[in-house]
């Protein structure tokens, strides 16, 4: 199976079983948060995508559409992208994005992938996304008692902090 | 005796573990001669056997990802150099490939050959450093380990000398640019490379012999720190660590980039998953890298090394809002870059840049692998995991 | 001269010479290790770096005397000098020449092994008194290793005693001078006994591959973690002294001491001691260390039974020879 065939199979899976209509060209497909865990499970158990590649959370502050003033203001939200890979050729990477509202928590992938433990902790630490069912959601990079999530857009890079002891 | 990893619970509740066992809490690090950088592991010891190990990362967190949102794509290349500070070529290539994939720039053939040569030489240098420090972990900085360390560094210095010839820097080169390379090689470089790799190939044979024939080395590494292949991939561990546990996965062969698609990259796996297996895999990888360099050093095509017009300002690379993940096979595993374009400076910076570091995944296997071993074994295992703290913490 | 005066004078002389040799052996070790590692070693201070050790000793002496807050003050201060004293005391019975020895005891070997075995105490006390978990781990390992390797050491030292029918060291050397060196004794118990004695001395002196108690990569500095300045210097010197004295003892009881194929004398003893000392350095800078349980297994499972068998073999040998005569 080549990389292209694997990608087509992945797209077909998304369209048939997870109701994804739009496959953007320059972005990864957007999947509903309710299907997040199930998609990962199907990929791991039925298609053999067992390597846990990455999880990336980004913060999108509320921003009016500059071009269209009458359009709805997109509320502040997070976007979490996850990627899993299959072993051996063609080492295809299946990745998708999930939109998470500020007060919403995304189900953790820890029962499927042990690597989700630390990776999700890091995204919680730096961006602030919460993961439901995570065994040990606490800060990883920053000190335990740090306040604020550094990689959010409203966290200035020069934010003053007391010297860490 | 070491226990099988499937019995271990990484989130073991130490309060209820065994009230009668008088557990001693020992902090391995952050200041310690052999934690490979600032890294802390809290060990709960029952005598000398580890019952639970809790790693704490983040001592070297420098906010590189946040910095990449402020600096432009041209400016972040030397910054990202310092992540995996042992193999800087890999960091640069990961970033630069991400930008080129998003902008769909075609990199000239000559630059691709240069990148492959640099990557393979860097792989040898990184594994040599690992081997030297592993010897020190096993044998002490005042002892046989130090001898191995000196020999490995003698070889590594020759490779760094080659890089200095090309880029002017022994370390942290800033030689890659979006669209190609900045420094070109000369025929003298090719000649020097050929002599250097022959010398190194001979010496690596000696190192392989040390590991396979010296009884004490075998005793310290055989059966120690067994990492199950399924657990490894579930944790996201790739590279020599996973290959030593039987996972036949190498991005150079399976998802080729640069010119790996035209080469036959041999991938070495071992099934034992212990420290000896990881050692042998890395030693064989060194031989393979030397073979690749020997194959292509004489057939570098002529041509330009930069595929786009060199820019005059730091903001000449602009990426619109889109997302992409690209990755390469670094000496530690899959080093990836998740790039969301459309940041500040009208797209000249990233909106979000995440560096998927293989060492962070490697270090997260500590709660699974350490329990059941003694403190000496813990140091040996930590040595073979080859974590680079700059990459773990960024 | 009364034995007391004789012992005092020669004791001071031998102790001074041994300490000086141990101190300059550090220079030799650094140069030798450096050459093995394709580098130069100390070259700047003094001719060929000879005064480097003097500079290091002066540096150590002027360092701040740190006493950890919760450390046991008396034991912490007592351990390093005691290590040196116990090690040097064992050198009292070693004959460097026919009448160059401090005390010609007729229980020479017994005294040697008994006092030499006391060296485990200061190492353990140093680790315990430091109130530091790393030091404690190192101390526990030192005790286990020291006690375990004591037994094959004693048994393999018994082989020359049995073969010479005397515990007095000068007698052992005289017998070797008349017949041949015990290491070359026919049927081989001598050579194997020497190898076992050598390995056990390495273990007693905490040298690589048995330096688990001060394993630098695992336990920061093991037993000596909290020690700074001259106290650390004394502990290190005790280790070098112990190694030197072990080489001297091995040279005396296995290699014939001051006896030589021609022109017997002090120089032969010095030569043999230094050759064995050199071999200990060679081993140190080539090998990595054992893990503590592997170290124990080596002792209890292999060295102990073997040395028992050797003692019995040498007793049998002497009996048979006596029957023939």
Q: Do C287 and B24 touch (CB under 8 A)?
A: no
Instruction: Report strand pairing: A30-31 vs A93-101.
Output: parallel
**Helices within chain B (DSSP H only):** 64-70, 76-80, 88-103, 109-139, 144-167, 187-213, 215-221, 229-235, 240-244, 251-254, 275-296, 344-347, 358-363, 366-369, 375-385, 389-393
Instruction: Count CB neighbours of B203 within 10 A.
Output: 16
Q: Does A1 touch chain B (CB under 8 A)?
A: no
**Helices within A18-162 (DSSP H only):** 36-45, 116-126
The packing angle between helices C133-164 and C120-129, to 10°, is: 180
In whole angstroms, give the CA distance from residue B315 to residue B226.
48
- What's the gap between Cα A141 and its chain centre? 18
Token pair in block for residue B347: 């797209």
Q: Do B143 and C288 touch (CB under 8 A)?
A: yes
Token pair in block for residue B190: 């090719």
Specify whether the CB–CB gap between C246 and C194 falls below 8 A: no
Largest pairwise CA distance in chain B: 72
In whole angstroms, give the CA distance from residue C219 to residue B45.
14
DSSP letters along C207-260, please?
Answer: -TTS-GGG-TTTSTTGGGTT--HHHHHHHHHHHHHHHHHHHHHHHHHHH-TT--
Task: Give mean pLDDT, residues C88-111.
Answer: 83
**Residue B5 confidence (pLDDT) above 60:** no
Find residue B354's DSSP bridge partners: B338
Chain A neighbours, 3+ Cβ pairs < 8 A: B
Q: Is the dihedral of CA B356, B360, B362, B364 positive or negative?
A: negative
Question: Looking up tokens 């050491």, which residue turns up?
Answer: C153
**Residue B1 confidence (pLDDT) above 50:** no
Secondary structure (3-state) at A97: strand
The predicted-structure confidence for C146-202, as pLDDT tens digits, reads as follows 899 999 999 999 888 888 888 888 888 888 888 878 777 766 678 888 999 999 998
H helix or E strand, kind and range, residue B326: strand B323-330
Q: Does A156 touch chain B (CB under 8 A)?
A: no
For C315, half-sphere exposure in the C-beta direction (CA atoms, 13 angstrom radius) is: 9
In whole angstroms, give the CA distance from residue B29 to residue B40.
4
**Residue B3 confidence (pLDDT) above 50:** no
Q: Do B26 and C209 touch (CB under 8 A)?
A: no
Q: Do B230 and A50 touch (CB under 8 A)?
A: yes
**Residue C220 confidence (pLDDT) above 70:** no
Question: Looking up tokens 């310092």, which residue turns up?
Answer: B82
Q: What stretches in chain A show pLDDT beneath 50?
A: none
Token pair in block for residue A91: 């080492």
pTM of the full structure: 0.89
Instruction: Count CB neighbours of A21 within 10 A.
Output: 8
**Residue B2 confidence (pLDDT) above 70:** no
Query: Does the ipTM surpass 0.95?
Result: no
In whole angstroms, give the CA distance from residue B175 to residue B182.
5
Peptide bond into B313 cis (omega under 30): no
* B150 min Cα distance to partner chain C (Å): 6
- pLDDT band at B194; cut points 50, 70, 90: very high
Q: Does B38 touch chain A (CB under 8 A)?
A: no
What is the per-residue pLDDT for C107? 87
With CA atoms as reference, report the closest residue to B137 among B381, B362, B391.
Answer: B381
In whole angstroms, give the CA distance from residue A141 to residue B62.
9
DSSP letters along C136-179, please?
Answer: HHHHHHHHHHHHHHHHHHHHHHHHHHHHHT---HHHHHHHHHHS
Instruction: Count CB neighbours of C265 within 10 A.
Output: 14
- B356 φ, ψ (degrees, to nearest 5): -85, 105
In whole angstroms, give the CA distance from residue C226 to residue C131.
9
Q: Does A117 touch chain B (CB under 8 A)?
A: yes
Specify whether the CB–CB gap between A97 and A79 falls below 8 A: yes
Residue ranges of domains in chain C: 3-324
Q: Does B58 touch chain A (CB under 8 A)?
A: yes
The packing angle between helices C108-117 and C73-90, to 10°, is: 160
Secondary structure (3-state) at B338: strand
Residue of B nearest to C208 (CA): B143
Q: Is the dihedral of CA B12, B14, B20, B21 positive or negative?
A: positive
What is the per-residue pLDDT for B6? 43
Specify whether the CB–CB gap between C139 and C71 falls below 8 A: no
* C78 min Cα distance to partner chain B (Å): 26
**Residue C325 confidence (pLDDT) above 80:** no
H helix or E strand, kind and range, residue C89: helix C73-90
- Which chain B residues are within 8 Å of C218, Cβ to Cβ? 34, 375-376, 379
Residue of B nearest to A152 (CA): B66
Peptide bond into B174 cis (omega under 30): no
- Which chain B residues are within 8 Å of A108, Cβ to Cβ? none
Q: Do C37 and B214 touch (CB under 8 A)?
A: no
Q: Does A114 touch chain B (CB under 8 A)?
A: yes
DSSP-derived letter for residue C265 is S
Q: Do B140 and C217 touch (CB under 8 A)?
A: yes
What is the per-residue pLDDT for A136? 81
Instruction: Report which of residues B17 and C296 the model is more confident about.
Output: C296
Q: Does A157 touch chain B (CB under 8 A)?
A: yes
Specify whether the CB–CB gap between B273 and B221 falls below 8 A: no
- Which chain B residues are within 8 Å of A156, Cβ to Cβ? none
Specify whether the CB–CB gap between B356 and A53 falls below 8 A: yes
In whole angstroms, give the CA distance from residue C295 to residue C282.
20
Instruction: Report strand pairing: B40-46 vs B180-181.
Output: unpaired
Token pair in block for residue B232: 């490894």
- pLDDT band at C217; cut points 50, 70, 90: low
Rg (CA), chain C: 20
Instruction: Report which of residues C71 and B128 the model is more confident about.
Output: B128
Least confident span in B8-12, C67-71, C91-95, C190-194 = B8-12
- Which chain C residues are within 8 Å of B26, Cβ to Cβ? 133-134, 137
Q: Do C288 and B146 touch (CB under 8 A)?
A: no
Q: Does A3 touch chain B (CB under 8 A)?
A: yes
Task: Give mean pLDDT, residues B64-72.
Answer: 89
In whole angstroms, give the CA distance from residue A93 to residue B337.
13
The packing angle between helices B109-139 and B144-167, to 10°, is: 160
Q: Does A82 touch chain B (CB under 8 A)?
A: no
* B186 min Cα distance to partner chain C (Å): 30
H helix or E strand, kind and range, residue C8: helix C3-36
C/A Cβ contact: 3+ pairs below 8 Å: no
**Residue C82 confidence (pLDDT) above 80:** yes
Least confident span in A113-127, C27-41, C218-232 = C218-232
* A36 min Cα distance to partner chain B (Å): 17
Largest pairwise CA distance in chain C: 68
What is the per-residue pLDDT for B4? 40
Find residue A30's DSSP bridge partners: A97
In whole angstroms, give the CA distance from residue B214 to residue B274.
17
In whole angstroms, give the CA distance from residue B41 to residue B121.
32
Q: CA separation (Å) from A82 to A43, A112, A120, B168, C302?
A: 12, 13, 10, 39, 56
User: What is the average pLDDT score of chain C?
Assistant: 85
Residue of C nearest to B139 (CA): C288
Q: Does A143 touch chain B (CB under 8 A)?
A: yes
Instruction: Report strand pairing: A130-132 vs A105-107.
Output: parallel
Q: Which candidate in A7, A51, A78, A164 is best for mutational testing of the B interface (most B CBs within 10 A)?
A: A51
Considering the domain delimited by B64-356, tell me its CATH architecture.
Orthogonal Bundle (1.10)
Specify whether the CB–CB gap between B8 and B54 falls below 8 A: no
What is the per-residue pLDDT for A165? 59
Secondary structure (3-state) at B16: helix
Strand boundaries in A48-89, DSSP class E: 51-60, 77-85
Give CA torsion, residues B360, B337, A52, B7, to 10 deg.
-10
What is the per-residue pLDDT for B90? 92
Q: CA separation (Å) from C7 to C85, C99, C250?
A: 16, 11, 22
């Amino acid at each position: 199976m080549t990389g292209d065939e694997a990608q087509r199979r992945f797209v077909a899976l998304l369209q048939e079983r997870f109701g994804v209509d739009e496959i953007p060209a320059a972005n990864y497909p957007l999947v509903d948060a309710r299907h997040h865990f199930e998609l990962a499970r199907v990929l791991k158990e039925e298609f053999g995508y067992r390597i846990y590649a990455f999880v990336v959370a980004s913060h999108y502050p509320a921003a009016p559409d500059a071009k269209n003033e009458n359009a709805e203001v997109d509320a502040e939200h997070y976007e979490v992208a996850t990627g899993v890979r299959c072993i051996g050729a063609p080492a295809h990477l299946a990745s998708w994005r999930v939109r998470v509202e500020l007060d919403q928590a995304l189900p953790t992938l820890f029962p499927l992938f042990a690597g989700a433990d630390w990776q999700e902790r890091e995204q919680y630490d730096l961006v602030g996304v919460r993961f439901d069912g995570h065994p040990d959601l606490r800060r990883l990079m920053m000190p335990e008692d740090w306040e604020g999530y550094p990689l959010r857009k409203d966290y200035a890079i020069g934010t003053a902090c007391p010297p860490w002891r | 005796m070491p226990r099988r990893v499937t019995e271990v619970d990484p989130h073991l509740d130490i309060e209820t573990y065994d009230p009668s066992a008088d557990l001693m809490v020992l902090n391995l690090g952050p200041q310690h001669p052999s934690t490979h950088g600032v890294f802390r592991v809290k060990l709960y010891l029952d005598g000398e056997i580890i019952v639970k190990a809790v790693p704490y990362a983040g001592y070297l967190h420098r906010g590189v990802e946040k910095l990449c949102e402020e600096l432009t794509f041209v400016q972040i290349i030397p910054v990202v150099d310092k992540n995996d500070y042992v193999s800087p070529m890999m960091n640069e290539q990961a970033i630069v490939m991400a930008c080129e994939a998003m902008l769909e720039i075609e990199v000239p053939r000559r630059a691709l050959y240069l990148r492959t040569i640099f990557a393979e030489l860097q792989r040898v240098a990184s594994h040599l450093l690992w081997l030297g420090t592993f010897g020190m972990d096993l044998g002490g900085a005042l002892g046989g380990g130090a001898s191995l360390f000196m020999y490995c560094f003698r070889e590594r210095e020759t490779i760094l000398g080659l890089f200095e010839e090309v880029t002017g820097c022994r370390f942290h080169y800033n030689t890659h640019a979006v669209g190609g390379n900045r420094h070109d090689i000369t025929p003298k470089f090719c000649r020097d490379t050929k002599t250097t790799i022959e010398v190194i190939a001979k010496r690596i044979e000696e190192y392989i012999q040390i590991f396979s024939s010296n009884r004490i080395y075998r005793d310290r590494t055989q059966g120690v720190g067994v990492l199950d292949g399924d657990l490894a991939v579930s944790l996201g561990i790739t590279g020599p660590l996973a290959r030593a546990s039987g996972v036949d996965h190498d991005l150079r062969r399976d998802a080729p980039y640069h010119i790996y698609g035209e080469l036959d990259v041999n991938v070495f796996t071992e099934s034992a998953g212990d420290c000896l297996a990881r050692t042998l895999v890395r030693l064989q990888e060194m031989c393979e890298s030397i073979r690749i360099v020997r194959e292509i050093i004489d057939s570098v095509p002529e041509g330009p090394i930069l595929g786009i017009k060199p820019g005059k300002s730091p903001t000449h690379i602009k990426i619109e809002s889109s997302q992409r993940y690209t990755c390469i096979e670094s000496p530690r595993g899959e080093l990836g870059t998740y790039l969301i374009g459309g940041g500040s400076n009208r797209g000249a910076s990233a909106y979000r840049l995440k560096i998927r570091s293989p060492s962070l995944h490697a270090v997260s296997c500590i709660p699974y692998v350490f329990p059941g071993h003694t403190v000496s074994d813990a140091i040996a295992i930590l040595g073979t995991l080859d974590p680079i703290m700059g990459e773990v913490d960024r | 001269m009364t034995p007391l005066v004789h012992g005092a004078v020669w004791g001071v002389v031998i102790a001074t010479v041994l300490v000086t040799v141990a101190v300059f052996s550090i220079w030799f070790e650094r140069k030798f290790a450096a050459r093995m590692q394709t580098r130069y070693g100390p070259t700047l201070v003094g001719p060929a770096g000879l005064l480097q050790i003097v500079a290091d000793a002066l540096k150590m002496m002027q360092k701040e005397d740190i006493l950890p807050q919760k450390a046991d003050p008396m034991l912490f201060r007592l351990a390093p000098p005691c290590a040196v004293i116990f090690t040097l005391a064992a050198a009292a019975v070693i004959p460097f020449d026919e009448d160059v020895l401090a005390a010609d005891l007729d229980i020479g070997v017994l005294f040697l092994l008994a006092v030499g075995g006391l060296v485990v105490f200061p190492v353990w006390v140093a680790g315990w008194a430091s109130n530091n978990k790393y030091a404690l781990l190192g101390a526990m390992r030192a005790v286990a290793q020291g006690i375990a390797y004591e037994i094959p050491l004693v048994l393999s030292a018994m082989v020359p005693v049995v073969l010479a029918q005397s515990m007095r060291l000068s007698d052992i050397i005289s017998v070797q001078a008349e017949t041949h060196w015990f290491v070359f004794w026919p049927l081989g118990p001598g050579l194997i006994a020497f190898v076992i004695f050598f390995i056990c001395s390495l273990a007693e002196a905490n040298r690589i591959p048995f330096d688990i108690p001060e394993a630098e990569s695992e336990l920061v500095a093991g037993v000596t973690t909290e020690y700074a300045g001259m106290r650390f210097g004394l502990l290190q010197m005790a280790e070098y002294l112990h190694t030197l004295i072990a080489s001297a003892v091995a040279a005396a009881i296995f290699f014939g001491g001051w006896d030589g194929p021609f022109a017997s004398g002090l120089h032969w003893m010095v030569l043999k001691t230094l050759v064995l000392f050199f071999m200990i350095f060679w081993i140190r800078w080539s090998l990595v260390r054992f893990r503590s349980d592997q170290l124990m297994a080596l002792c209890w499972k292999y060295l102990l039974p073997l040395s028992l068998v050797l003692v019995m073999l040498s007793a049998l040998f002497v009996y048979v020879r006596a029957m023939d005569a």
